[in-house]
Structure 1
Amino acid sequence: MIFVLIAGTYTPICMTLLRGRLGYSLLALIWSCAAAGIVMKMFFFDIPRLLYTGIYLIMGWIAVFIVVPLYRAGGPLPLVWLLAGGLMYTAGGVIYAVKKPDIFPGWLGFHELFHIFVILGSAAHYVMILRFC
């Protein structure tokens, strides 16, 4: 489902802010990566955590290649929200990959912390999409 979340977040950006050839090309790339990732997770159960977490991060940070067109289309504020969400997701991804820190074991471990960062990243991207797409 994470692959779908990432691709779903790109979709309104590609269809409204970027549009045209760049938007459609990026949309095709991201959804192709998502489909490949879903197939990978469905058929290969013993994939190392670092590998698929790395794929999530790469998919998310592909956005660095479209910073200039995004800035031209929406100005600086969409980029601020996009970056904030990306940093939250990245922090959560790193925590998930390394399984640390366990702040209060049994109550607030790495997995709960990971989910907190994912919620923060999702909220930032939700605000960006709601306000600018």
Structure 2
Amino acid sequence: VASIVGLIFLILYGIRHGNALAVTTFSIFGSSLIVLYLASTLYHAIPNVRAKRALQYVDHSCIFLLIAGTYTPFMLNLMPNWIGITICTACWLIAAFGIIFQPWLMKKSDKLNTCLYLFQGWLVLFAFKPVVEALPFTGLALLVAGGLLYSFGTIFYNWQRLPYHHAVWHLFVLGGSVTHYFAVMYTI
């Protein structure tokens, strides 16, 4: 529900302060938040084992979509040049790869999956200087903080012996989503 409300506010913000590209990229980001949180809610709420396995595939695939959806406003609004377009395209290609190979990745190892998420998420390092130059300090601080929250959260996701590790992981994900939500507003 918060993602839906957030998407509406982002679209209105984009209409008021940006242009058609901002509204489009904000819509992609907001939609990826909605899809991820819907998939996660269904996965965690449905007790049926067979359905749960299919929903786990969708849930894990939506992480790739959210990462690519988050990159889209930063790369296309801040750097509508070959650097931004290349990084954005690479991010969406990694998302497609991750979704297509998700059944194999899930069978192999959560750690392998996590490494691919982290690689996709930190792809921005290849264009860090242009992003630093294009993004106001507050937006940059929020972008980095969100990336660090998601990244440090993976420690708890993989820390199976820690009680409530999965709940702690979700708190980090929520924190990353909120900080990136506000960072997106600084892209216009």
* Aligned positions, number: 127
For residue 62 of structure 1, what is the aligned residue in structure 2? 123
1:110 corresponding residue in structure 2: 165
Q: Which residue of 1 aligns with 2:157?
A: 96
| 1:85-109 alpha-carbon deviations (Å, 9 max, x no partner) | 011001111211232532xxxxxx0
> 1:18 & 1:83 partners in 2: Cα distance?
17
The 5 Å alignment of 1:113-128 reads: 113-128=168-183
Mapping of residues 1-133 of structure 1, within 5 Å: 1-42=62-103, 45-102=106-163, 109-133=164-188
Q: Does structure 1 conserve the Cα–Cα contact (< 8 Å) formed by 2:146 and 2:179?
A: yes
What SS is found at the alignment partner of 1:132? Answer: coil
Higher relative contact order (CA 8 A, sep 6+): 1
CA contact (8 A) 1:67 1:79 kept: no
1:124 is aligned with what amino acid? Answer: T
Once residues 89 and 16 of structure 1 are traced to their aligned partners in structure 2, the CA distance between those partners, rounded to angstroms, is 23
| 1:72-91 deviation digits (Å, cap 9, x = unpaired) | 11232222111100110011
Distance change >3 Å, CA 92–CA 30, structure 1 → 2: same
Contact 1:17 1:70 in 2 (8 A): yes
Question: How far, CA to CA, are the matches of 2:105 and 2:151 in structure 1?
Answer: 24
* Alpha-carbon distance in structure 1 between the residues aligned to 2:159 and 2:131: 32
1:105 match:
none
1:85/1:121 contact within 8 Å kept: yes
State the TM-score, normalizing by the size of structure 1: 0.88
Letter in 2 for 1:33: I
Contact 1:88 1:121 in 2 (8 A): yes
The separation in 2 between residues aligned to 1:121 and 1:45, in whole angstroms, is 23
- Bigger shift: 71-80 or 53-62? 71-80
Taking only aligned residues, the RMSD between alpha carbons, in angstroms, comes to 1.4
Residue 130 of structure 1, CA deviation: 1.9
Q: Which runs of 5+ in 1 are unaligned?
A: 103-108
Indicate how the Cα distance of structure 1 residues 118 and 45 shifts in structure 2: closer, same or farther if over 3 A, else same: closer
Paired amino acid for 2:70: T
Distance 2:110 2:176 in 1: 20
SS of match in other structure, 2:186: helix
